[in-house]
Structure 1
Amino acid sequence: MPSPEQLLQVINIQTEIAKLGLDLGGVMQFVVEQTLPLIEADGAAIELAEDGEMVYRAASGMASAQLGLRLEIQSSLSGLCVMKGETLACTDSRDDPRVDRAACEKVGLRSMIVMPLKHRGVTVGVLKAMSAQPDKFGQGDMALLGMLSEVVAASMFFSVKYDSDDLFIKATHDDMTGLANRALFMDRLRNAVSQTHRSARPSGVLMIDMDGLKQINDTHGHRIGDAVILEFANRIRKVTRDTDTAARLGGDEFGVILSPLEHPEGIEAAIRRIDTEIDSPFVFEERQYPLKASIGSALTPHDGVEPDRLLEVADQRMYAVKQSRKRG
């Protein structure tokens, strides 16, 4: 059975989740991060069932790099959990026929617990704890993970008032700005890379950092800072195409996936559009606030064919732009 210390951890997690309010994406990410110390897991994920696939919508630890990954619902333990609506455990992925063995080996996963997440009585996803060791989890761990799955399910219920479409919007979009969140961004980036392979048409990714947000927060307070973030997001949305994906990745960090691009030079044109739109000052409550952005880019396949590599290149170039402005 769970120890008193572990039960206190669950209570503290529930308290922090209450502070997140109706931000379902934030709740899911917080839960997978807290799963690691709670039951000494090496990784954790929340997967939602979408159009016959299980999609990683939140991930931590050894699962972090899989954010946005899609697996066939019929070929994974998570998919079986959704279909049965019951908790499942795997003591060793190397000899369990129910698991996607290739996916497990890629992550380094040997054992796991998979808990169903139910929305309005229907199992719509799973909370999964993972370990690199075989036979890692016991009954006490299952009880604790069950408590967390109930917290996520309750958050789903209270954050979504209508139907399943609203559930996926809440799970995949930033609560403040309405832009895609990091989970959806990674999902779309994986799709863009796949389309490049199939069509030989390039795609681009932009990493965008707001300049000066900390100074605005420190000088004028977080209420003004939030208004500036929202305006910044709206300006990015205004100059991106319907086929592009604009996302708030966290704090003052944004990203845009440009897919498809007719030619590689299109990425520079997109940067100029965003720079021009953001550059004009923002007037709020009769006061003017400067808006600036540092933007870095990467192009597939020229700069890489793996999502993590593309983000690394774009992030390095964004940082170089920021440093050059400081020196200037």
Structure 2
Amino acid sequence: MTDVQSSVSTDPYILMEIIRLQTEIAKLGLDLSGVVNAVVERIPTLTNAEGAIVEYSEGEEMVYRGASGIALPLLGTRVKREASLSGLCVREGRILRSDDTLTDPRVDHGPCEQAGIRSMVIAPLKHEGSAVGAVKLVSTATYAFTARDVRVLELMSDLIAAAMYYAARNESNALYQQATHDSLTGLANRNLFFDRLRSRVSTGRRQIEPLGILVIDMDGLKRVNDSYGHRAGDAALREMALRISRIPRRSDLVARLGGDEFGVILGDISDRNDLLTIVERLSLETDQPFLFEGRTLDLTASIGHARFPEDGKDVDDLLEAADRSMYEMKRTRSVRSSERELTQKHVF
């Protein structure tokens, strides 16, 4: 295990690739998710890494906010700062390396075993003297990283930290919030949803990363508005937004697309069953009565789903597939409701 600060010269090709990545990050501007995704996808192409991770320092934990390659299943993982090499990197503010994670007592072995990681090199993400996170290169091979890899990471870390700092700062800026979020529910709005979705299914990506799309149509909002007024309708929309937000992980995006329609982008959906499990859990969450000013109102939602890339390789095809699925759920519910009403008539 080696701790490294390298001054190895970098070849012109690598310098040009770093400049290209810098330009790409600059174009992303204040899109924090886009910046993180660009970093974890591009850095492995410049090194011996089989994947990359961007970790945020949040309280006593390091949180995996971006991941690619072999590390993708770890997205959203939380580890204790005091028990991880990334936490040590942030505390000491210097690049650290582990040539064999199995024998390195500084490493949190759980995530490494899950993803098959055997070696890593980590750089702190420092801005204005403070380390706010770390960027990590990972490999399934021991002793995978050279002084050249360390130098690339060293050259990139300050750029990444600055880009993330300004993007994160503006994500909480009031003007940015108004432009990208729905004022009634606080969820992402239609524009942010489609921006993120286009970014995730972009044909320019180095590798395809499966994801799930949910389109959720709230049933009966007009009936609530007509019967109890728009205050009740607004309260029902906020309640539906809260229920939908309970199911996805923090790395997923939940949005109000307009009116009574919501959308969810789900990362790291391994297969169709994984997606259907989430739909089932969400359906149980949404189809519960709602108490408003002493009245019990029925809340239900029809949920459509699609998985990238098999249900579509662009945004339009994915949403069309999700809409078909949603309307099929509506049709099935309508048939069941009619059958129940017919049965009740015969009984009485």
Same fold (TM over 0.5): yes
- 1:247-289 CA distances to partner (integer Å, 9 max, x unpaired)? 5379996159xx9x999844435996555xxxxxxxxxxxxxx
* Equivalent in the alignment of 1:121: 129
2:247 touches 2:282 (CA, 8 Å); kept in 1? no
SS at match of 2:76: coil
* Equivalent in the alignment of 1:239: 240
* Equivalent in the alignment of 2:264: 254
- 1:223-248 CA distances to partner (integer Å, 9 max, x unpaired)? xxxxxxxxxxxx97673227736753
CA distance in 1, matches of 2:301, 2:237: 6
2:118 touches 2:142 (CA, 8 Å); kept in 1? yes
SS at match of 1:240: helix
SS at match of 1:45: strand
* Equivalent in the alignment of 1:155: 163
CA distance in 2, matches of 1:319, 1:263: 17
Q: Identity across aligned pairs (percent)?
A: 34
2:121 touches 2:137 (CA, 8 Å); kept in 1? yes
Asked if 1:80 corresponds to 2:88, the answer is yes
CA distance in 2, matches of 1:68, 1:131: 19
1:26-105 equivalent positions in 2, closer than 5 A = 26-105=34-113
Q: Which blocks of at least 5 consecutive residues in structure 2 are unaligned?
A: 1-8, 194-211, 218-235, 267-277, 290-297, 307-320, 333-348
SS at match of 1:241: helix
1:120 touches 1:157 (CA, 8 Å); kept in 2? no
Relative distance call for 1:21 and 1:320 in structure 2 (3 A) is same
- 1:133-162 CA distances to partner (integer Å, 9 max, x unpaired)? 111111111111122212211113333559
- 1:87-116 CA distances to partner (integer Å, 9 max, x unpaired)? 101111122111112331221111111000
1:114 touches 1:129 (CA, 8 Å); kept in 2? yes
Q: Which blocks of at least 5 consecutive residues in structure 1 are unaligned?
A: 183-205, 212-234, 276-292, 297-316
Please tell me the residue identity of whatever aligns with 2:138.
Answer: M
Relative distance call for 1:319 and 1:132 in structure 2 (3 A) is farther
Relative distance call for 1:90 and 1:75 in structure 2 (3 A) is same
1:179 is displaced (CA, Å) by 4.2
* Equivalent in the alignment of 1:311: none
CA distance in 1, matches of 2:187, 2:69: 25
* Equivalent in the alignment of 1:208: 214
What is the RMSD computed on CA atoms of the aligned residues?
Answer: 4.4
- 1:279-300 CA distances to partner (integer Å, 9 max, x unpaired)? xxxxxxxxxxxxxx7258xxxx
2:102 touches 2:109 (CA, 8 Å); kept in 1? yes
Please tell me the residue identity of whatever aligns with 1:56.
Answer: Y
SS at match of 2:154: helix
CA distance in 1, matches of 2:49, 2:94: 20
* Equivalent in the alignment of 2:325: 321
* TM-score, normalization by structure 2: 0.56
Larger Rg: 2
CA distance in 1, matches of 2:80, 2:74: 14
CA distance in 2, matches of 1:43, 1:65: 11
CA distance in 2, matches of 1:39, 1:54: 24
CA distance in 2, matches of 1:135, 1:123: 26
1:120-199 equivalent positions in 2, closer than 5 A = 120-161=128-169, 166=172, 176-177=180-181, 179=187
CA distance in 1, matches of 2:282, 2:51: 39
